[in-house]
Structure 1
Amino acid sequence: MRRLFVILSFMVWCRCLYAQQDVEFQVSGAFLQGKEIIKVKRDFFDPYVWVLSQNNEVYRINSITSQVEDLTANFSAYSHDSFIDIAGLNKDTVFLATATGAVVQYKSGGLKTIGAAEGILSAANSIGIKKNTYYDFFYFDAGAPPVLIVGSDKGLYFYDIRAEKATHPEGEHSSLVYEATYRTEMYRDSTAGASEYDGLKQLPVTFRGEYATFMGFLWEGGNGYGYNIKTACMISPSMYVYDAVTSRMEMFWGNSNGLFQNNFNQSYYVHSPVAHYLNGIQVNKVTNIYGLAAFGEGEWFGDPGMIKQNLLVGTDRGLYFSNSIYTRTSVGLRPFELFHLDALGMAKVNDICVNVASMHVPLCEDGAWVATGTGLYFLKPDYAKFVGQGSFQAASFKGAPGMQHKLSICSGEQAILAVDPKHYTGSSIQWYRGNEQLIGESHAELVTSIPGNYHAVLYDPCQNSHLETNSLELSVVSSPVFSFNYPDNLSYCDSASAALNTDYSPAYRYRWWRDGQLTGDTEFKMTATQSGVYHVEVSACSGSWLPSKDVKLELINLPVPQLHTGALINCEGMPVTINLNVPVSSGYTIHWLLDGYEIDSFANRSSVQIDKAGSYKVLLSATGQRCTKESEPLVIQFIKSPVVNLDKAGEIIICEGESVKLSATNNPAYRYRWYLNGVLTGEDVSDINVSSPGEYYVEASSCPGTWVPSSKVSLKVIEMPRLLIKTIKQAYCIGEAARLFLGGGLAGNYNISWRRDGLDLPELKGKTEITTLLPGTYQVIAISKERPQCNTVSPPYSLVFYEVPTVHISQKINTSLCSGEEVSLSVSYAGGYINWSTGETTPRITVNNSGLYKVKVTSATGCAAEDSIKIKMLPAPVFHVPDTSVCTYTKSTVVLTAPAGFRRYFWNNIQGSSGYAIREPQSILLTVEDENGCQASQQIVVSSACADVNLANAFTPNGDLANDTWRISGIENDPSAVVRIYNRQGAEVFYSKGYYTPWDGKFRGRALPAGTYYYIVTAKKGKQRFSGPVTIFY
């Protein structure tokens, strides 16, 4: 057996995988040896296999007896043509397709060509028997007429074999029957032609499901797809339901460039994933075979269990088969590996027909007929050595957890043992108790009350093999048998809980008691967290409880004793108190021990005073029990007190920055600690250098907890002030008096002197503040009166006097200014920062209000100068002319009158008088100017005072030249106006588009009688509409 690894896809995606072989095929029959077999077909209802061989030879094989019959002579009339396909319905009916496009029918010895008379109008290229099933596990409708599917160059035909009549073709495009079996029917779709995408050809194919017809797409062309697809098949995620989950259906097809695979749902897209196998090998047939169908669920939503589905691929280099691709959860294309069947060698495989032994649940496909260049072979699949060793986990106690393989029942009860239908759908079952076959027990469930070890043997109805299930152990009890082997009294030292348990059986029920009350525990074991009297009751059957004996349980937790004292090393003659951390209690006795010997006088005391050195312990013993707990030892020592003196006394005076050494009596056995003003300094040696003022002394210790002090010595430190010359200003201008003073106050214990530019200023001696007009570098010297060796000098201070800047404001325009006009003010200065009273900081500003404007210029050294200017603005004229209106229709005039007293008037920017006549609605701009030349303006609105359209309600066309026509104002210049007038009967007596000639009361040149008429007037392009009566008087 040679293993063929997957060829990586060169198209959209690639993958690498390694799969385990799970089937092998045995050649169980060889027929027609030495002949090239072109096609082999067996209908799913009939046991006869029809074989098409070279030279138009036709054979019929009984698949049960393996008898071969040569029927070639019956087709001698077609020796001039070549048969290319065959489809047998039963023993007496077979169809053949010829290379010239004819279909030959052989029925009960009769021979005829099916053609136009039967409704087939185009050249056939392939044939197949249409499947006659629908949903629900391949239920076959035996009453339905058998149908032959005919693929042709111009559509697909369905030929009723009984009526010998074909239906109209589906579409006009070329079709080809790829697969026609009891569970799948797939052919090139003829309702749509091939489409081109990126140099590839998209071929539509049709797959008929149980309820619907689905269309997918195969691909051929460049980029390695190859051309001339000879074979294709569909793979479903369900063994029994073929149109359940289209997203998991996959298609396989083959041609001269190998085998291809894609997903049905995604096959429409040119860039959808495609896998490629057997690159460069001609593939002539691809199909698949099911195995171990009884050992799993065949529905798409079920557990596939051990069900197998293996591809069979016939090529020019022999037969290949895959590992199982049956899955319901695969994401992406199903991965698999192809294996070469060496038993057939490299013989060309032209066709494959899967043999169906049973179409009922569980399905049985027991072999495959393989047409090769050297003869016909029947292959039988063999799964035995790949199933593995061990039992098949399919048996369980009904109602119990699936993993529970042991069960105890009460006497008189029955247990039900079952084979899970999810793991085995067959009906060939035999139950065993031990090695004893249970005669007649061959159903999925076994009801028994007899104890023992049971298992079932499950037979594969399709193959000569069987699997043994896991073992189930059944026991029968009349009353529970258990042990509770504890002493009557249980004591646990240092424990917060105790575990109590009895024997376990899944058939038993348990309940625990403490001090006569149920604890709520129902398992075979429990954890007690309280002291008390416990027992357990066990039940093997409903309503019956067997109690255990009582056990008194005590959980004893003595406290952890710990000893504490002030110091482990103590001075001789000083009593020491040792404290115990636990109180006196009736639950235990306190024992004190010194160097291992008990001190009787200290018994049951939590605190004692001692004066002897040694190792002390405390032992706690539980009252009436053997539980004890001991403290850690506490070692106490006693030593003599030390003697300590200082080498200095009284008061010591030093300058700031100096230090002095203090020494105590030196003894290596002593420990030291120094104090300053009663506070520990952290020094722990006999000699220290000190520089901080205060009162010093030292303590010495020769035993822990005891310190002996020395005499005290006082240290005084002359602190020198931090001299710093300050001023009240950062900078001074020429002419100012500078004030210099010392920062911080100086006590009277210092002598003060001043220097300028290094020279003493005796006149300033003793002063802490001076006033001067002289620039220079100043310093101050302070000398301690108490210790003249202590003195300090201030840092030098440089005093400078700066120039005062000059500033002047100038006005750009000197004429009179009206309110709202602007004037520019600018400042002349020699440098510095500008700040106007307006807040602006630029050399030039613009103002438009009266007032006093100031500017301040500050030099970089802080010297400042100011200037100001007064600006006066003349007020603007104040007046008001009210809006008015005018009616153009009445040719009226309105006069606008401005207030008197102004020097000039401008109407719409044209100078005039204080009055202005208006005859039409409009907007007027009035501007007035006063004696100072200041102006003000107002917009005056003159609106219309008459309606847009006015219609008279009567007129007198009597020829007296007064009111002889019907007047309508407002539409004189509107060419879109339409005027219609009707009499009382609704007849139109006047019409005018545009009302340029008013109505004179006449119709067709004759005067109308007096009376009321009715008008409809539209104006302004239909936006205005008027209607009403108008009366003619004479």
Structure 2
Amino acid sequence: MYRLIKALSIVCILLFANFARAQVCTGTFGQPLINQTFGQGNNTDNWYGPLAQYAPGASTSTTFKGPPGSIPTNLTANQSGLVKTPATPGNPYSIYWQPHADHTGDSNGLMLLIDGIATKTVFFEQKMDDLCPNTLLRLSIWVLNTNSAAANAQPPNMILKVIDPNGNLLGNASTGNVTADGMWHQYTLDFSNANNSTVTLQLVNDTPTNSGNDFALDDITVRACGPGIAPFFNLNNTALNMCEGNTNSFTVNANISPEYANPVYQWQENKGTGWVDINGTTTKQATINFINQPAGTYQYRLITAINGNIDKVFCRAVSDPITVTVNPLPVARAENFGPFCNGSTIQLNASGGTTYSWTGPNGFTSAAQSPTIINATKAMGGEYTVQVTANGCTSPASTQVIVSDPLAITTNIQTAAICEGKSIQLAASGGTQYLWQPATGLSDPESPNPVASPIETTVYSVTVTKDGCSGTAQITVSVNKNAMADAGADQKIVNGQKITLNGKVSSDVTYLWTPADYLDDPTKLNPVASPPHDITYTLYATSNLGCSSSSDEVNITVYPKVVIPNTFSPNGDNVNDTWNIPAAASFPNPVVKIMNRYGNLVYQSTGPFKPWDGKMNGKDLPPAVYYYSVYLNEDFQTYTGWLMLVR
């Protein structure tokens, strides 16, 4: 009897499994009830763990490797771990592993990497609770054969399996051999949970070898079959665009196929912080109050279920969202680069949008962002307005254009003359801004009335500006030089000589030498002087233009005439008893030397000159011819010659 019951049970289970596989979803499989992505990694590590942290609800019967870090570098049979890529750093067999990102292509997305064994082992399991009875569900997995084609290894093969709490089979499907083509492959299993509110998802290894049975899992999902829901706005639009400050209420509706028996509805809204029910919108067609909504993105979706199941997450169908975008009003700006002068070009500019529409005086219109108006007239002045549009929203801005008449510039003088070192007041009028050039010699080049103190004749140009207009005027300031007298360098002469004074003066002056003593003509610039003694002459210069006078002095040093006697008789008769050079007394440090015919020094006078008495060391020298050298100063050559001593 026991054997019969057991046999009948097996037959019933098989018949139910075949029935589950035979069911067809006449609507659509909705949003995931379970979405196992295995989490997110970082930019540095490749290995991660524990599994519960990165994949809540998942478990594995393989030996799990972790925690985060650079080891282990590879797996052995019946081991698993969370990685960003199967080609782990340091893997000694890296050429046989796929260097691949997760199923979505995210370089930091994680996957579950498994090195399978040759026995049928449940290497992944996840439990689902709170299911509605008799729901058709779809289990979906993505699998990557992590062996490269170069490895020529046994491909992985696995079974998708679902069991009830008693271990009874609700459905299964085989993946077959997963090709080592460097691509992720998706496999699905459709099953019914019958009257069970809890089921367990299992993935079973079905490869008869340990060699090359390496694979990765990612993005395991379970979706419930429900009606297909196509929500829309108003006249079948799936998206609405509005402008801030001009938002309107709208209608939402949906096409649903097939409908639940005795269905109920709930519209939800997501303003960026998650989905919430909209109070009072429990019909398929509903009106959404959308007045005065700020800029942002708003999503809407419809939930439908059999009456009594609307609050059960796993017992209802949820549509894809439809979106309302409220665009901010553009920050419109209008400006001009005026004021402008008659005849110039008016330049307008707008910003803040993608399209522009200008209007202005005299019927002006333009669609340019920065329009120009040539040959400006006074009639073109006034307010210009632009409508700035971005994302279908428009804001106005305006700018006031001023067109001014040409300037009437006046100056206090056109030409002026000043003496060197003096200054003069310049003045201009007719504007609000002034700029004088060159700035040299001006107290303030930006003043309308600067003080000018040039050192030479200068033409000053002033640019006058007012209300976008500008003009120039000129003032010439001539600089008359002050009288300049230069009497020349000091000179030295010998009594009886004449010398020409080297006077110099600036132009347009009257000059005179004083004193007039010993000058051939004191009114000449270069008179001839023949003074018998030292004298100072002064050259006076007076400006004929009324500028400053000047004077300068020159010193003339007059030395006495040098006479050197060639004979003397030191015989005691008081007549010509010494050899004397009268002019030597005028020099402070003459040097006088006397040698005999053999070149021996017999007398020397250094300092104030002392006449020679014909003696050497107090003894009379014999009559003879002697030779002398006389040095007076640097202005005279050394005198040399002979003298006769007689007794």
* TM-score past 0.5 threshold: no
- Class of the TM-score when normalised by the shorter of the 2 chains: 0.3 to 0.5
User: Relative contact order, CA 8 A, sep 6+: which one is greater?
Assistant: 2
More helix by share: 2
What is the TM-score normalised by the length of structure 1? 0.30
What is the TM-score normalised by the length of structure 2? 0.42
